[in-house]
Chains A and B, each alone.
Chain A
Amino acid sequence: MNSRPRLPRREAFKIAGLSAAGLALAACGVQGQKAAAPKPDAVKDFWSGQTKHGKVVFANWPEYMPEDQGPLKKFQQATGISYEYKEVIQENAEFFGKADPVLRAGQSLGYDIVVMTNGVHLQHMIELGYCVPLDHSRLPNFAANAGQKYKERVYDPGNTYTIPYTSGVTGIAYNTDHVKDDITSIQALFDPRYKGRVGMMADAQEIANFGMFALGIDPEKSTEDDWRKAGEKLKEQRDAGIVRKYYDQSYIDAVAKGDVWLTMAWSGDVFQRQLAGEPVRFVVPEEGGTIWTDNMLIPKGAANPVDALMLMDHLYQPAVAAELDEYIQFVTPVPAVQDLLREKAASAAGEDKKALEDMVDSPLMFPTEADYAKLRTYTTLSNTQLQIFNPIFQSITQA
């Protein structure tokens, strides 16, 4: 520790003594936990002894379940398994920051299902062996009803550890009061005409993807060279004063009010503002957009893994998925939901009918095939690559 000026000697020694003791205590360091991919036998071994316990604890983000908890109640009725639902996740990074010390010490988080977005932290969860490999023989609804794209995800091949809960698209949102053109290209975000009126996201993976799209690079196949080029492009954008701010979440307020005119944005946010009548429009740029997914996983040390699997599978029944998606209003992994909601709209009336129809017709909730063709996930990064990737983009967003 640094020494303080004018500290009486005795006090200094006392402080030094305390610190040394503490340092000695903590000098052991922290053990690595790198896990190898599970062998198929390992998966079978884990699950062979497990049985249903009659209870499940589900940790999720706020506002990701209808207030009356309908899907969960139906699950309880159908299977007799009681549930505890906890809205304890606010941010992936923070959640990982909390979970890491606990799981590293071999303790249980106390949750059977946890929802995390694909990205650095989910990847660490997997690499550190914090996730239980899933037994797909017990996930029939997933196999039957999940969209093909949701079964082939780059960041979790074969859905070994996770299955999707809901997805979202990152594209461009723009304020139609201020931007009269029809925006279709990602280059609009780099257009000097909008100097000081453009919002970009602060998250390294989000902004990296857009930098790469602007240069015609596919993030899913990118190399270190590509990242540097993307970094250059973003740096130019910043130096030219085009960007007003690198946002975490509040871009949507900014663009809805007209503080920024164009911004990187998540589909669900824009959808809600449109429902509120605000002058924002969303577009997936021609050059590409990002699709991200919030995934369900079973953390190591979960007390009720079989019950967890059953609940996860239950949520893939089309009717249940429809009930969820109607509330969450992001992109569901079950394509059949669109037709179900269409039927519901047909038999509904008044405001409900209009709301449902808006949902069904909205490409923000149900991206078209053309959209999907343009969408890519975040770049998958090993830990070593992360050490190179992050500084490139953080030096732009956090200068």
Chain B
Amino acid sequence: MRRLTPYLLVLPSWMWLGVFLVVPMAAMASVSLQTGNAIDGYAMTFSVSTYGDALGRYSTQLARSLVYGGLATVLMLVIGYPAAYWIAFKGGRRKSMYLFLLLLPFFVSFVLRTISWNFLLSDNGILFGTLKDWGLLPADFHVLATAAAVVGGLTYNFLPFMILPIYVALERVDPRVVEAAQDLYATRAAAFRRVVLPLSLPGVFAGVLMTFVPATADPINAAILGGTSNTMIGNIIQTEYLTNLNYPTASALSFTLMAVLLVGIFGYARALGTENVLQAAAR
């Protein structure tokens, strides 16, 4: 029975992912190799050139997305880790409350949040208008419609996805271990670096995974907060699919994006060394 346990645990997920992820994805992959258009229909031509064309046209946006996503992830890590640390070690009985409060704004539609940010960050609004009146900012300073706004928006929108997993990993660290480490290493900083940080790495990995990936693929922040040169690959995929009805190109771009992200993830996991990511389930 023991030997069966993992299979029983995994079975529902296998079924779910198998039916609802693998099959549709395979169909999409197949579409990416077809040629044609919405009116005349598509035919399977195993046309790999679609990938080449798509990459050629949109390499800028793809690269830009990786940069924005990467920047946002680093920011989220820097901003989120200390908060996760404090809640895990010092949150006491109120830990769940803090986590819940972190996520609460996200129960309220992203449209409202983004509109509100547009309001707060507008060139002459409450924040910048006041600063400009006080002469602290030049008159044509603006945050909206810049890359900074997009990266800021990404950081804002995915921050809880970084904080929660780090918290989850840190929370299982026994504070007495930390104290013992501090006795050993004589400074909190060293204790942190040598003991706490490594123990939190699975959480960091999870956090990076759950933020870098969706942030890179996100079209919404660029659409609402960006300017003329901040278009991301998510926007392109959306346009090719919905507006141009160019299903093969959209699928090709999606798979290319997924491939790049997955390569990045596995590379990162390997470098981190804490995840035996594809250790073929020890036979």
A32 touches B228 (CB 8 A): no
A22 touches B22 (CB 8 A): yes
- Residue B50 is within 8 A (CB to CB) of chain A in the complex: no
- Residue B79 is within 8 A (CB to CB) of chain A in the complex: no
Given contacts A22-B25, A32-B39, contact A5 B30 (CB under 8 A): no
Residues of chain A with a CB closer than 8 A to B142's CB: 259
A32 touches B36 (CB 8 A): yes
A21 touches B26 (CB 8 A): yes
A383 touches B243 (CB 8 A): no
**How far apart are B275's CB and chain A's nearest CB, in angstroms?**
13
Interface string of B60-93 (1 = CB under 8 A from A): 1100000000000000000000000000000000
Residues of chain A with a CB closer than 8 A to B185's CB: none
A127 touches B242 (CB 8 A): no
Residues of chain A with a CB closer than 8 A to B223's CB: 248
B245 touches A11 (CB 8 A): no
A8 touches B243 (CB 8 A): no
- Residue B112 is within 8 A (CB to CB) of chain A in the complex: no
- Residue A48 is within 8 A (CB to CB) of chain B in the complex: no
- Residue A36 is within 8 A (CB to CB) of chain B in the complex: no
**How far apart are B218's CB and chain A's nearest CB, in angstroms?**
15
Residues of chain B with a CB closer than 8 A to A246's CB: 228
Given contacts A30-B42, A243-B228, A245-B226, contact A22 B29 (CB under 8 A): yes
Interface residues of A in 236-252 (CB under 8 A from B): 238, 243-246, 248, 250
A29 touches B43 (CB 8 A): yes
Residues of B within 8 A of A (CB-CB), count: 56
Residues of chain B with a CB closer than 8 A to A6's CB: 266, 270, 278
**Which residue of A22, A244, A254 is within 8 Å of B26 (Cβ)?**
A22
**How far apart are A194's CB and chain B's nearest CB, in angstroms?**
12
- Residue A347 is within 8 A (CB to CB) of chain B in the complex: no
**Which residue of A22, A120, A383, A394 is within 8 Å of B27 (Cβ)?**
A22
- Residue B101 is within 8 A (CB to CB) of chain A in the complex: no
- Report the Cα distance A397→B230, complex, angstroms: 10
The residue on B at minimum CB distance from A18 is: B22
Residues of chain B with a CB closer than 8 A to A91's CB: 242
Interface residues of A in 377-398 (CB under 8 A from B): 383, 386-387, 390, 394, 397-398
- Residue A28 is within 8 A (CB to CB) of chain B in the complex: yes
- Report the Cα distance A30→B142, complex, angstroms: 47
- Report the Cα distance A25→B30, complex, angstroms: 9
**How far apart are B165's CB and chain A's nearest CB, in angstroms?**
23
**How far apart are B216's CB and chain A's nearest CB, in angstroms?**
17
Interface string of A300-339 (1 = CB under 8 A from B): 0000000000000000000000000000000000000000
- Residue B211 is within 8 A (CB to CB) of chain A in the complex: no
B44 touches A28 (CB 8 A): yes
**Which residue of A93, A96, A243, A258 is within 8 Å of B124 (Cβ)?**
A258
**How far apart are B71's CB and chain A's nearest CB, in angstroms?**
20
The chain A residues found within 8 Å of chain B, CB to CB, are 1-2, 4-8, 10-11, 18-19, 21-23, 25-34, 91, 93-94, 96-97, 100, 120, 124, 127-128, 196, 204, 238, 243-246, 248, 250, 253-254, 257-259, 383, 386-387, 390, 394, 397-399
Of the A-B pairs whose beta carbons lie under 8 Å apart in the complex, a sample of 19, sorted by A's number, is A2-B255, A2-B263, A5-B263, A10-B280, A11-B280, A18-B26, A26-B27, A29-B41, A29-B43, A32-B40, A32-B42, A33-B41, A96-B242, A97-B242, A257-B123, A258-B124, A259-B144, A383-B40, A394-B244
- For the complex of A and B, list the 8 residue pairs with the smallest distance between their C-beta atoms, beginning with the closest: A22-B26, A32-B41, A26-B30, A93-B242, A26-B27, A8-B280, A2-B259, A32-B40
